[in-house]
Structures are given as structure tokens and as C-alpha cells.
Amino acid sequence: MCKGGILKDEEWNLQIKERATILLLGTKEEVPQQPSEPVKFIEDMNEIEMATALELPAGLTNLGNTCYLNATLQCLHAVPELRSALDSFRVDNADDDSLTITWGLKFLFKQMERGRTITPIILFQTFHRAFLQFSQTGENGTYRQQDANECWSELLKMLQRKLPAIDNTESADSKEQIKKYSSFIEQYFGGAFEVKMSCSESPEEEPTVGKENFLQLSCFISPEVKYMLSGLKSKMKETLVKFSESLGRDANYTRSFSFNNGINDIYNRKKNVTADYFIISI
């Protein structure tokens, strides 16, 4: 046995007994050099440095119970195709709410790309002028809490009027596909139901089949609904009363919904179908 210690490169005086077992540790490459700048761990970073390292999106200042608006804006900003469409948006001659809202979103998203904390005051004022119901204040003068889903729906309506469908490929098939969309919002956020209406009291009556477009799916919470999927399924069938031509009186009907396009495409990877964005209102 040899006394433990560090064996230096120029050390030749170590006495080693015959048949001794020697274990060599290390590498033949050069010893790594100490970094010129010390490594900074996440525990040592401030909020701005941490947000930059984690590539977190820019934050939006709460202007007084405006979390509903900020959350909606962050969701919209997370869609890269929408950011690209807004970047290409050019002002037309019309002077209406949809124009000012769309331009305000474009300006805000540009700010969010450059800064870490943004105060969306311009869009906030524009939004209140366009939708007076969101500018209501309480007794102490502060803005009232509002519904984020209503805010989302109103903003999508504005964008739907101004942003046309886009074509990201050069294929002829894609260009023909684009023609069926009236706007960017319908192209990326929309879907279609196939709706079947059948008379529950007269199986002989021929069911009617139609199509309904949607921009969001509803998931209503109830004691029976414990999972989002079950909540979505519960809205895929409903009953109503309407006049039956075959029976000559009012009768019970069942409306059944199935996806004509959209969510089914998410699972259709083998056909190279790109899933769009689906908004679920809970």
C-alpha cells in the first residue's frame, strides 16, 4: 500500500512494491480550463435574468382587475401563426373598431418581443372604446372583474374581420384549400360539426344532416363531470322539442354532433394533417 496523496506529473520518487496493483484515474486529454466567466446558477439570478434564461414571454401589467384581458392576450401571443399574420397586417382605409383592435394587437405584440414587462395601455383604451361593457367601474372607481371567455370571443370577432386566410406553402392543393376559409381565425381556430337531427318518437322519419361551424368548444362543469373529456362529450348530444311533419305535432328530437374536421385531425398524424388550435371554454 502507498500513502494516499496527489501524484504530480514530475513525481518519480514514489516507492512501489513488486506486484502491486495500480489503478489509474484520469484522462489523456488536457485538463479543462476554468471558464473565463463564472457559471451562474438559476438560484443566483434575479427575476429578469431568470425570465431571459427560461425564455419566458413578456409580462403584462395589471391595470386594475384586467387579468382577464392580460390572460387572453398572452394566449393569443402564444400562437406563432397569429403573430406572423399580424406582422403582415397593413392598415386599410376603413376606420372602425376591428381596425383599431387589430392594429393595437400588432403594436402590443411587437412590444412584447422587445421588452420583459409591458403596460398595454394603448390596447386597453382601444378595447374599452370598442366594448363599453368592459369599462364598467365599481363604487370605488376601479374596473369590475370581467369574463375572460367573453373577452376572447370579442377579440376573435375583430380579428376575423381583418385578417385573411394565409398560405404558408407553394402547393396548388394548399391554395385551393385556403379558398374555403373566409379568414385567418376560421382557418386556425375554427372547426365544423356534422349535425344529425332525428325524431326520437318516430324512427321511420328520415334524419336530417347539416353542418355547423364553431370557434370554440364548451365544457360545462357539473357534479357528473369530473374530466374535461366527459364534459365535452356531454355536449355532443342534446334533446329538443320541435314540430314533426310525419307525426303532425310537436315531438322530441335528438341532435347529435360529430366532428366534420378539426379535433379528429389531431390524431391523424399518419396523413400529415397539421392540428390547429382548439379553444375549450370551461
Residue range 144-165, pLDDT digits in tens: 999 999 999 999 999 999 999 8
What per-residue confidence (pLDDT) applies to 271? 40
Tally of helices (H runs) and strands (E runs) in the chain: 10, 8
What per-residue confidence (pLDDT) applies to 173? 53
**Which grid coordinates belong to 250?**
310537436
Domain residue extents for the chain: 47-162, 190-281
Cβ atoms of 207 and 196 within 8 Å: the answer is yes
- C-alpha torsion sign, points 202, 205, 209, 212: negative
Pairwise CA distance, residues 198 & 202, whole Å: 8
Q: How would residue 34 be classed by pLDDT, with cut points 50, 70 and 90?
A: confident
How many other C-beta atoms can be found within 10 angstroms of the C-beta atom of residue 190?
Answer: 22
Cβ atoms of 165 and 178 within 8 Å: the answer is yes
Helix (H/G/I), strand (E/B), else coil: 153: helix
| Burial label, 114 (beta-carbon count in 10 A; 0-12, 13-18, 19+) | exposed
- Pick from 203, 198, 201, 214: nearest CA to 260: 214
What per-residue confidence (pLDDT) applies to 269? 40
- Angle in degrees, CA 200, 282, 81, rounded to 5: 110
Which of 1-5, 23-27, 172-176, 190-194 has the weakest average pLDDT? 1-5
- Is residue 281's pLDDT more than 80? no
- Contacting residues for 108 by C-beta, under 8 A, at least 6 apart: 73, 118, 120, 122, 123
Q: How would residue 191 be classed by pLDDT, with cut points 50, 70 and 90?
A: confident
Beta bridge partners of 210: 195
The class level of CATH for 47-162 reads alpha beta
Provide mean pLDDT across the span 168-178.
Answer: 61
Pairwise CA distance, residues 146 & 79, whole Å: 23
Beta bridge partners of 51: none
Q: How would residue 266 be classed by pLDDT, with cut points 50, 70 and 90?
A: very low
Tell me the residue type at 123: L
pLDDT > 90: percent of the chain:
39
Q: State the chain's mean pLDDT as an integer.
A: 81
Q: List the beta strands (DSSP E) in 53-109.
A: 59-60
- Cα Dmax for the chain: 113
51-104 per-position pLDDT tens digit = 666 667 788 999 989 999 999 999 999 999 999 999 999 876 667 899 999 999
200-250 per-position pLDDT tens digit = 999 899 999 998 888 888 887 788 888 888 888 888 888 999 999 889 999
pLDDT > 70: percent of the chain:
79
Provide mean pLDDT across the span 184-195.
Answer: 88
Helix H or strand E encompassing 192: strand 191-199
Strand 217-218 with 280-281, pairing: parallel
Pairwise CA distance, residues 278 & 262, whole Å: 8
Q: In degrees rounded to 5, what are phi and psi of residue 73? A: -65, -40
Q: Using the 8-state DSSP alphabet, how is residue 201 labeled? A: S
Cβ atoms of 82 and 76 within 8 Å: the answer is yes
Cα dihedral 44/47/48/50 (nearest 10): 60
